[in-house]
Amino acid sequence: MALIQKLAAVVGQQNVFSAPEARYAYSYDATFRRRQPDVVVRPANMEEVAGVLRLAWETQTPVVPRGAGTGLSGGSVPVQGGIVLDLTRMNRILEINTADLLAVVEPGVVTDDFARAVAEKGFFFPPDPSSSKSSTIGGNLAENAGGSRAFKYGVIRDYTLGLEVVLADGRVIRTGGRTIKNVSGYDLTRLFVGSEGTLGVITQAILRFIPPPEATRTLLTFFPRLDDAARTVSAIIARGITPAALEFMDDQSIRVVEEYLHLGLPLDVEALLLVEVDGPAAVLAQQIAEIAALCREMGSREVQVASTAKEAENLWRARKAISPAVARIKPTKISEDATVPRSRIPEMVRHLKEIAAKYDLQIVIFGHAGDGNLHPNIMCDEQDVGEMRRVEQAVAEIFQAALELGGTLSGEHGIGFLKAPFMPWEHGENGLWAMRSIKQALDPRGILNPGKIFPPTQQVNNKVPGTDY
Amino acid sequence: MDPLPEELYLRCVHCGMCVRNCPTFQETGLEMDSPRGRVQLLRGLSRGELAATPGLFRTAWDCLDCRACEAACPSGVRPGLLVEEARDRLKRFEKRRGVGIFLQELAMRFLFPYPGRLELAGRLLRFYQRSGLRTAVRRLGVLRLFPPAVREMERILPEIPARTARAILADAKANGEGEKHGKRAGDGRTAGLFLGCVTDVFFAGINLATTRILERHGFRVAAPAGQCCCGALHLHNGSREQAKQLARRNIDAFLAAGVDHVVTNAGGCGAALLEYPELLAGHPVYADRAREFSRKVIDIAQLLDQTGFLPPRGSFPRRVTYQASCHLKNVMGVADAPKRLLRQVPELTLLAMPDEARCCGSAGIYNLTHPEMAEALLRRKMADLPPGTEVVATGNPGCLVQLMHGAEKYGPPVQVKHVVEILDEAYAAGERK
């Protein structure tokens, strides 16, 4: 293929991969659908990214930017084949500026590596998606990733001051800048964050960070009744306390973790609540006592407060063990992130349980109670065609329920192609028209991550050859 | 060969949590060189979606089998096992030809399993090293006729001791020695020492030091004569059937000897012994015997740490850092015990090594089969040694050789010792006092 030779001229032969095993290895992310690219390209810098995009633009070849491939919505799966643009060679932290509290990084920097580098300078970068050990800043920006600290600290868009972006035709723009205040023109930074690689390729980001909290305290408690847990969350927040983490687990998740680790978790409760507060040490003791009292008042059982880091780690064990525990039950795990207003969590949980019963599926529910971001995980087997059909129906009903409660399809995983069909439900024709207009303006040839975000339209996209599994 | 056990790769939900733990992925950044990539590609092979190609051969054979990924996997996937099972099926794509690969196969089949032959080979090597033959061979450039792997091996071979621990311990037993034990930690329990194959030829001193330390702790030490190579190299090589035969011999030898513990001082061997039940699963007789055997397997550092370590009175006044053997840590689960022991040695300063569990590139015979990747990992490892390090301590002879090689080739000029050698020196120093 002539294109492959031209790509090699841009990034070097050793950074272009089109052998069967390479195409297979870049056909998936952390979702269960896969599709092979025609070629994998690993550029080293912005100029090479621009060169690749110019070639793709000329030949109308799909380009799918990819970080670590840990996404949960299929964002980096090349559903129409074409070029996978692996950005992990661009992994330099170019600057950490402690006077302006900002850093300049390339998209391939691993999230944890960046957070650690900032911590070594005595500061704090809060976004912590659960894949942060592997995920990249570029991927986090593309999907606008959140994490357990989002309620208090926000998500990665709240830490993004500016971007360098290569547009579909290879032109390069810089958005935002190095200041917190910046109202100069349209906020393109926020447009590109969360655009899932459909509008441009981020090649550099200016990220802000903050001073770290002085101390952290952790509390774990169980509620025989789900509604009491929800009322407690609201009560804590109404007291003016903003926990750094407010994690919730339902009875099913408690059961699977208990069966896995035998931690001695109670099996006759409807909810587990893990609360973490951080801030000045002097304030925390009083805050945690206040939260403990509230929990008891609202009908909780067994309030455990950690006084050391080690004890805190123990309290987190149940929450952190959900994924491995769940993985032992069935081979396929569909992790959703439908999000509702905080006060509607109990209703949403009840809906989810009804849906599980209706479609005879096992669904464990956990998530971030502070921001209403629930993670119903459907346990299934991708080999079981009948079950997968029921899963599909259940997923549709989950989205419907979330939207009816005033929520959204996705709190932090992104739309990708798995949720794309449901976009009209949330945004309506006009909302989608506005989004399509932006897409059309920036990528008129539709080469950037095609098949993502937007529901498949009347006209079927031209498929590039590639094997579909 | 049977297709790979489906549920093992199905359990992989390709979340990607493992990739950064993988030393080869750290080097290349390629998905094909990551645990997730390997599992997925072998899935493709198993399902017939991918043909067996040289690319797949590379994926399976470039894995260090260090098992660091298994510790990171939330779902309990076993990339190491999947890779081992696939290797046999992909062997025909082996590109290396001639003397190197021939010698390797020969050694696997006809040398490692037979302690007698190994001892003889050791004597020949010792003769080669000491008679002036080596100097002559090197001067004449005869080695240039051999492939790089053999040249490398020749270069990094340590000085062979005069006798193996197997021979020395057998003599001691015949003379009625080796029964000095009091009422201490071991309390007269029998520690069956696993000697290893190559270890005992090259590093008899480690086995002898282990024996002395066990006796100091009140263990009765036995080295059952019927024991042989653990089979780890065969497993890494995809030769599971050969490994099973060796496993049965070892199980028979140690169970017949009625030992309380099977004590290992090589992480690679210990890990293989520990996993005999998996290797022999389903065997009508040996499945149960393997479990009984495996329950007794314990690393020397762990045994001392658990049963009440008696710190030496003598000192080891050096700055020491600890390199964790991959299999010792990732499979046997021995992470902190060796460091706890070292900290109790008077005047020994233990320096923390960053990322101490990252593979040094030794990985069985990986350093011979994949010199490029192994050297890259070794260079990083040597660069990671904390400033001021005088001695690198480790718990596996393979790492020992690799690190010695690293000290010579890249520096700094550190000494490399097994943890038991350091302890043994400190005990000896205490007695001289």
Chain B touched by A68 (CB under 8 Å): yes
Max distance between CA atoms of chain A, in angstroms, equals 71
Chain A touched by B44 (CB under 8 Å): yes
Neighbours of A440 (CB within 10 A): 12
A window 131-170, beta carbon within 8 A of B = 131, 133-135
Min distance A392 CA to chain B CA atoms (Å): 18
Nearest to A207 by CA among A145, A166, A156: A156
**Average pLDDT score over chain B:** 85
Residues linked to residue B417 through DSSP beta bridges, in sequence order: B393
Inter-chain residue contact B14 with A28, CB threshold 8 Å? yes
A87 neighbors A104 (Cβ within 8 angstroms): no
What is the C-alpha separation between A366 and B185, in angstroms, rounded?
48
A27 neighbors A64 (Cβ within 8 angstroms): no
Indicate whether B132 pLDDT > 90: no
Instruction: Please state the pTM of the whole predicted model.
Output: 0.88
What is the C-alpha separation between B231 and B243, in angstroms, rounded?
5
Higher pLDDT, A47 or B8: A47
How is the beta sheet containing B261-264 ordered, strand by strand? B220-222, B190-193, B261-264, B297-299
CA atoms within 13 A on the CB side of B244: 13
H or E segment at B192? strand B190-193
DSSP one-letter string for A107-125: TTSBHHHHHHHHHHTT-B-
What pLDDT is recorded for position B97? 52
What pLDDT is recorded for position A458? 46
Whether the bond into B412 is cis, omega within 30 of 0:
yes
Indicate whether B173 pLDDT > 90: no
Tokens 């081992």 locate to B84
**Pair of tokens at residue A427:** 């945004």
A45 neighbors A87 (Cβ within 8 angstroms): no
What does residue B264 show for φ and ψ, rounded to 5 degrees?
Answer: -115, 150
Min distance B33 CA to chain A CA atoms (Å): 10
Higher pLDDT, A242 or B159: A242
Inter-chain residue contact B41 with A30, CB threshold 8 Å? no
Nearest to B80 by CA among B90, B91, B70, B94: B70
Cα end-to-end span (Å), chain B: 61
What pLDDT is recorded for position B198? 79
Q: Is B129 exposed, middle or buried (0-12, 13-18, 19+ CB in 10 A)?
A: middle
Pairing of the two strands B349-351 and B319-323: parallel
For residues B96-122, average pLDDT: 68
**Pair of tokens at residue A134:** 């592997």
Nearest to A448 by CA among A60, A10, A71: A60
What pLDDT is recorded for position B356? 87
Residue in A closest to B56 by C-alpha: A21
Best A14, A17, A24, A40 residue to mutate vs chain B (most B CBs within 10 Å): A24
A102 neighbors A207 (Cβ within 8 angstroms): yes
pLDDT over 90 percentage in chain B: 48
What pLDDT is recorded for position A382? 83
What does residue B216 show for φ and ψ, rounded to 5 degrees?
Answer: -60, -30
The DSSP call for residue B111 is I
What pLDDT is recorded for position A409? 95
Cα end-to-end span (Å), chain A: 23
For residues B225-252, average pLDDT: 89
Nearest to B44 by CA among A169, A88, A26: A26
Chain B touched by A80 (CB under 8 Å): no
Pairing of the two strands B190-193 and B220-222: parallel
Of A372-381, A387-396, B11-20, B69-78, least confident by mean pLDDT is B69-78
Nearest to B351 by CA among B304, B302, B306, B388: B388
Best B7, B8, B11, B14 residue to mutate vs chain A (most A CBs within 10 Å): B14
**Pair of tokens at residue B281:** 């699963």
What is the C-alpha separation between A378 and A361, in angstroms, rounded?
7
**Pair of tokens at residue A313:** 């780690």
What is the C-alpha separation between A80 and A415, in angstroms, rounded?
16
DSSP one-letter string for A157-174: GGGEEEEEEE-TTS-EEE
Query: Which amino acid does the sequence have at A78?
Result: P
Nearest to A400 by CA among A388, A390, A413, A409: A409
- DSSP-based three-state secondary structure for A49: helix
Inter-chain residue contact B40 with A28, CB threshold 8 Å? yes
Between the alpha carbon of residue A108 and those of residues A153, B304, B423, the distances in Å are 23, 45, 45
Distance of CA B406 to the CA centre of its chain: 17
Q: What residues contact A217, with CB distance under 8 A and at least 6 apart? A: A276, A277, A278, A284, A285, A287, A288, A305, A306, A312
What does residue A11 show for φ and ψ, rounded to 5 degrees?
Answer: -110, -5
Contacts of A333 in chain B (CB under 8 A): 13
Min distance A242 CA to chain B CA atoms (Å): 30
| pLDDT one-digit tens code per residue, B354-411 | 988 899 988 777 877 788 888 999 999 999 999 999 999 999 988 998 899 899 889 8
Min distance A24 CA to chain B CA atoms (Å): 7
Taking only Cα atoms into account, the Rg of chain A, rounded to an integer number of angstroms, comes to: 23
Pairing of the two strands B190-193 and B261-264: parallel
Nearest to A40 by CA among A58, A59, A66, A70: A66
What pLDDT is recorded for position B31? 97
A332 neighbors A258 (Cβ within 8 angstroms): no
Give the pLDDT band of residue B111 (cuts 50, 70, 90). Answer: confident
Give the pLDDT band of residue B110 (cuts 50, 70, 90). Answer: confident
Tokens 């050791």 locate to B122
Inter-chain residue contact B75 with A30, CB threshold 8 Å? no
Distance of CA B64 to the CA centre of its chain: 12
Give the ipTM of the model, two decimals please. Answer: 0.91
Inter-chain residue contact B32 with A21, CB threshold 8 Å? yes
Q: What residues contact A452, with CB distance under 8 A and at least 6 apart? A: A74, A75, A79, A196, A197, A198, A415, A416, A417, A420
Higher pLDDT, B126 or B96: B126
What is the C-alpha separation between A345 and A360, in angstroms, rounded?
22
Residue in B closest to A129 by C-alpha: B17
Of B40, B49, B74, which is closest to A25 when you measure between CB atoms?
B40
A window 404-463, beta carbon within 8 A of B = none
What is the C-alpha separation between A11 and A9, in angstroms, rounded?
6
Taking only Cα atoms into account, the Rg of chain B, rounded to an integer number of angstroms, comes to: 21
**Pair of tokens at residue A251:** 């009875």
Min distance A296 CA to chain B CA atoms (Å): 34
Query: Which amino acid does the sequence have at B335?
Result: A
What pLDDT is recorded for position B146? 63
Of A19, A70, A332, which is closest to B15 when you measure between CB atoms?
A70
Indicate whether B35 pLDDT > 80: yes
A70 neighbors A110 (Cβ within 8 angstroms): no
**Pair of tokens at residue B209:** 């030091």
Give the pLDDT band of residue B8 (cuts 50, 70, 90). Answer: confident
Inter-chain residue contact B29 with A42, CB threshold 8 Å? yes
Of B17, B40, B44, which is closest to A134 when you measure between CB atoms?
B17
- Divide the 469 residues of chain A into consecutive groups of 10 and give the mean pLDDT of each group: 91 96 96 93 98 97 97 95 98 98 98 97 95 95 94 96 98 97 96 98 98 95 93 92 94 90 90 94 93 94 89 87 81 89 92 95 92 92 90 94 96 94 95 96 97 75 35
Q: What residues contact A445, with CB distance under 8 A and at least 6 apart? A: A57, A60, A168
Distance of CA B341 to the CA centre of its chain: 20
